[in-house]
Amino acid sequence: DQQVKQNSPSLSVQEGRISILNCDYTNSMFDYFLWYKKYPAEGPTFLISISSIKDKNEDGRFTVFLNKSAKHLSLHIVPSQPGDSAVYFCAGRGSNYKLTFGKGTLLTVNP
C-alpha cells in the first residue's frame, strides 16, 4: 500500500526555468506534507512543508501547493539552478510524527 506516490522518477529542466515536482497521496490523516532533498551519499535535508489546512506555502525560490480534494501536492522551484540537481522526496506526516515517503524524483538542472 503506497500511501505517497511520486510518479515521475526523473525530471530534466534548463537553468532559470521552473521545475515542478508532483506528489499524490492516499492517506487523509496526514497533517503535514514535507519535501526533502537528497544528494548522493548524504541524508535527506528538509526543504519546505505545508499544513494540510493550507493550500500554499512559499519560501524563497520554493513554493509548495496542496490540492486536498485531489490529494495532490506539487513543489515549484523558480528559477531552477544547477545546484538544485538532487533527488526530491515528498513525505506525509502521520501519527507519532512518523513520515511516509514517496520513491523520489531525480531532478537534473542543466546549465
Among the listed residues 24, 102, 107, 109, the single contact to another protein using CB under 8 A: 102
Among the listed residues 13, 21, 24, 50, the single contact to another protein using CB under 8 A: 50
**What is the nearest approach in angstroms of another protein to the Cβ of residue 11?**
16
- CB 73, CB 60: distance < 8 Å: no
Among the listed residues 44, 63, 84, 86, the single contact to another protein using CB under 8 A: 44
**What is residue 25's three-state secondary structure?**
strand
Give the CA radius of gyration of the chain: 13
If one asks whether residue 64 binds another protein (CB under 8 A), the answer comes out as no
Q: How many residues does the chain have?
A: 111
Distances 83 to 24, 37, 50, 87, 88 between C-alpha atoms, Å: 25, 11, 23, 12, 13
Q: Using the minimum distance from each CB to another protein, give the nearer residue, 77 or 91.
A: 91
Amino acid at 47: L
Amino acid at 19: S
Q: Using the minimum distance from each CB to another protein, give the nearer residue, 11 or 99.
A: 99
Interface residues with another protein (CB under 8 A) are 4, 6, 31-32, 34, 36, 41-46, 49-51, 89, 91, 96-104
